[in-house]
Chains A and B, each alone.
Chain A
Amino acid sequence: MKSPFAYQPRQGPLQLASPGAAVAYLGAIVAVAFLYSNPIVLVAAGIAATTAGLLAGARRAVAAALKMGLALAALIAVVNALVVNRGETVVARLGEWPLLGQVDVTLEAIVAGASGGLRAAVAIVTAGVYSACVDPDRVLRVLRPLAGRSALTATLASRLVPVAAADAARLRDAARLRGPGAAEVGKAPLARRLLAGSFDRAVDVAATLELRGYGLDAPRARNRRMRSRYDRRFYAVAAVVLVAAIAGRAIGADDFHTYPAIEIGAGTTTIALSALVALSGLAPLKRRSRRRVSLSSRIARQKRHAPEAARV
């Protein structure tokens, strides 16, 4: 089954935007998550990333990323609660633990961990949306003139992953088809065989790249076609979000302290910034185009009505 994070070509604004515009837009959401610790702003950034993904049609990627992100957030919260003993509100006293010593779980440590986890979740969801919506071929096309070797490595790696997955499935099937009497083939020998095969496969893919002219020092074509009518929208939203986030931080919109007691700032600036960040998730919204009637269908309609007009 195809990975939910695999790129899926669609005619949405985010998919049609140039890689630069898409990266700027999604990068702005991630930047907010890393600039702020306030859970209200982080939740807004999460809403923005989720909305953007859903509007871009990447429902599976968003669902999978949310699952991963929230699981990671929960893990971070648990680990932080176990290793940090600061905070005034003790929720549970778990006694002496090897290596950790006296473990007192505090509400403040849980919230601090959850805040960090939320930040990681926002980054994961945004990365999931990027992976499912931004064409890697276009990204590599931009990257090639700037960093040829890196682009080559990325091209090889991105092709070898599905090839290795297909090889692994075939090897597994071949092992199963040896019949019930045959000795079971362990995971380690299978992995060894896959690794040995993957070197040959890498050589084949590299030969294909060579034949396509990858090693040529030819003049790179101008990529005028890569600009999209949606670029301006994504660049503008990214700029507004970034400027607002930096300004908001300067005037204290990130008012959040966990130790010794929890203080969450929910002032007008924080709420306004959160609303702006959450609304930025609507940027991939497709404007409904006005229905246009083509000349040929107009002529066909006139022809259909012509006999009736003659009868009248």
Chain B
Amino acid sequence: MSELAIRRGAAPALAVEGLGYAYPHAPRPALADVSLEVAPGEFVLLAGRSASGKSTLLKAACGLVPHFHGGEIEGEVRVAEVDAIASGPGELAAVVGYLAQDPETQVVSTTVAAEIELPLEMRGDAPADRARAVEEVALALAIPHLLARTVDTLSGGELQRVALAAALVTRPKLILLDEPTSQLDPVAGDELIWLLRRLNEEWGVAVLLAEHRLERCLAAADRVVAMAAGRVSFDGAPPDFLAWARGADPALTTPAARLFSLAGIEPLPVGVRDARQTLRRRES
């Protein structure tokens, strides 16, 4: 029995049941009958085209929907056994972290240290505990050298790491990421994904990552959930997702998978290593 299967027996990091949601004055719902579970320590990739409901689902999981955006909601969302619909984003901050696309609007302090410390200060932690937690998360994200700097001197990649540190400093059970690499250069984007994978493995934090550029993160994921028109259209392992996407929505497949598909090579590769192994097997 795999470690993930054992963890699946524990209380889920995220449990969504029959979730439906419509933004205020929206002609149709953004989410309809969404049911989903993320096990503790699982790395789940949320795929789908624009306006498929990925961001709204993430916002529902951190309490921004409906508490911040308003609108009508039905169903159930529980994060580490905390009711996300009854609790606000502030109360949920202890169990869930959220990282959005734009790093510039995700920092609210002048210095990096103050930014990372803010959630702990809001929670009422003692100064010594705050200092220790800030140092720990800065070391984990390889940013101790940034702590004394002001946020306006940071690059986009550094800013995104600082925002991630602020989301992780409370040691949440689940971290939600809404296209965190969309404004980063390819190198910084890859670094962020592998940093997430490392934190997922070392800290056991569950990850729900919404991304458009799947080739970057498919290899890091344990599972893929695809969404279309506010509903879950696929839920399974990365190789199965590629096989499904080839027929259902080819735009969601990776460039390498598309190339393999055109060349008639099976199975479709999840990452570079997979592709290399498949090609080597064919040669031999």
Residues of chain B with a CB closer than 8 A to A204's CB? 100, 102, 105-106
A166 touches B104 (CB 8 A): yes
Q: Complex Cα distance A209/B122, Å?
A: 10
Closest-by-CB residue of A relative to B97 is A211
A208 and B105 contacting across the interface, CB-CB below 8 Å: yes
Of the residues A138, A212, A215, A225, contact of B108 by C-beta under 8 Å: A212
Interface string of B97-135 (1 = CB under 8 A from A): 010101011111111001000111111111110110000
Residues of A within 8 A of B150 (CB): 6-9
**Those of A161-213 within 8 Å (CB) of chain B:** 162-163, 166, 201, 204-213
Whether, in the assembled complex, A303 has its beta carbon less than 8 Å from a beta carbon of chain B, the answer is: no
Query: A2 CA to B121 CA in the complex, in Å?
Result: 28
* Across-interface contacts of B128 in A (CB, < 8 A): 225
Cβ–Cβ contact B122 & A212, under 8 A: yes
Distance A205 CA – B151 CA, assembled complex (angstroms): 14
For A59, the chain B residues whose CB sits under 8 A away are none
CB of B111 within 8 A of CB of A9, answer yes
How many A-B pairs with Cβ below 8 Å? 108
Contact of A296 with B by CB under 8 A: no
**B149 lies within 8 A of chain A by Cβ:** yes
Q: In the complex, what distance in Å separates the CA atom of A212 from the CA atom of B167?
A: 8
Q: Are B88 and A209 in contact (CB under 8 A)?
A: no
| A98 contacts the other chain (CB 8 A) | no
Which of B105, B131, B152 touches A2 (beta carbons < 8 Å)? B152
Minimum CB distance partner of A218 in chain B:
B124
The residue on B at minimum CB distance from A214 is: B122
| Smallest beta-carbon distance A187→chain B, Å | 23
CA distance A9 to B151 in the complex (A): 11
Q: Which residues of A contact B105 (CB under 8 A)?
A: 159, 163, 201, 204-205, 208
Interface presence of A298 (CB below 8 A): no
Which residues on B sit within 8 Å (CB–CB) of A216? 90-91, 93, 122-123
- A213 surroundings in chain B (CB, below 8 A): 90, 93, 118-119, 122-123
Residue interface mask A98-138, B partner, CB < 8 A = 1 = 00000000000000000000000000000000000001111
Are B68 and A207 in contact, with the CB atoms below 8 A? yes
Chain A: interface size category: 35 or more
Complex Cα gap A212–B119 (Å): 5
Q: Is the CB–CB distance between B148 and A9 below 8 Å?
A: yes
B110 touches A221 (CB 8 A): no
Question: Shortest CB–CB separation between residue B200 and chain A, in angstroms?
Answer: 20
- A155 interface hit (Cβ, 8 Å): yes
Q: Is the CB of A222 within 8 A of B127?
A: yes
* Contact with A155, one of B67, B108, B152 (Cβ below 8 angstroms): B108
B120 to chain A, nearest CB (A): 8
Given contacts A159-B108, A221-B126, contact A211 B114 (CB under 8 A): no
Q: Find out whether the CB atom of A219 lies under 8 angstroms from the CB atom of B122.
A: no
- Chain B residues with CB below 8 A from A212, complex form: 93, 108, 118-119, 122, 166
Q: Determine if B90 and A215 form an interchain contact, defined as CB atoms under 8 angstroms apart.
A: yes
B157 lies within 8 A of chain A by Cβ: no
Determine the chain B residues whose CB is within 8 A of the CB of A6 once the complex forms. Answer: 150, 152
Q: In the complex, which residues 27-76 of chain B have their Cβ closer than 8 Å to any Cβ of chain A?
A: 62, 64, 67-68
Q: Does A288 contact B (CB under 8 A)?
A: no
Measured between C-beta atoms, what is the minimum distance from A4 to chain B in Å? 13
Scoring B64, B88, B104, B125 by chain A CB atoms within 10 A of each residue's CB, the highest score goes to B104
Complex contact A221–B64 (CB within 8 A): no
Interface centre among B88, B110, B150 (most CB of A within 10 A): B110
Q: Which residue of A lies closest to B151 (CB)?
A: A162
Q: Say yes or no for A302: interface residue by CB 8 A criterion.
A: no
Closest CB-CB distance, B208 to chain A, in whole Å? 15
Contact pick for A222, options B119, B120, B126, CB 8 Å: B126
**207-242 of chain A: CB within 8 A of chain B:** 207-216, 218-225
A141 in contact (CB, < 8 A): yes
**Cβ contact within 8 Å between B110 and A215:** no
Query: Quick check: A159 and B107 within 8 Å, CB to CB?
Result: yes
Q: Is B89 an interface residue (CB 8 A)?
A: yes
Q: How far is the CB of A92 from chain B (nearest CB, A)?
A: 48
Contact in complex: B125, A221 (CB < 8 Å): yes
Residues on B with beta carbons closer than 8 Å to the beta carbon of A207: 64, 68, 89, 100
Q: A158 interface residue, CB < 8 Å from B? A: yes
A210/B64 in contact, CB under 8 A: yes
As a 0/1 sequence over residues 1 to 35 of chain A, the CB contacts with chain B under 8 angstroms (1 = contact) are 01000111100000000000000000000000000
Contacts of B118 in A (CB 8 A): 212-213
Residue of A201, A211, A215 with most partner-chain B CB within 10 A: A211
> CA A204 – CA B127 in complex, angstroms?
28
* 8 Å CB contact of A205 from B90, B108, B148: B108
B124 and A221 form a contact (CB under 8 A)? yes
- The answer to whether A220 touches B108 (Cβ under 8 A) is no
Say whether A7 contacts B110, CB under 8 Å.
yes
Give Cα distance in the complex from A219 to B110, angstroms: 23
Q: Give CA–CA (A212, B109) in the complex, Å.
A: 11
- Which 5 A/B pairs are nearest by Cβ-Cβ distance? A213-B122, A137-B114, A204-B105, A225-B127, A216-B90
Pull 6 A–B residue pairs with CB atoms less than 8 Å apart, ordered by A.
A2-B153, A6-B152, A9-B149, A211-B62, A211-B89, A218-B123
What 4 new A-B contacts, CB under 8 Å, besides A135-B110, A159-B105, A225-B131?
A137-B110, A162-B104, A210-B88, A211-B90
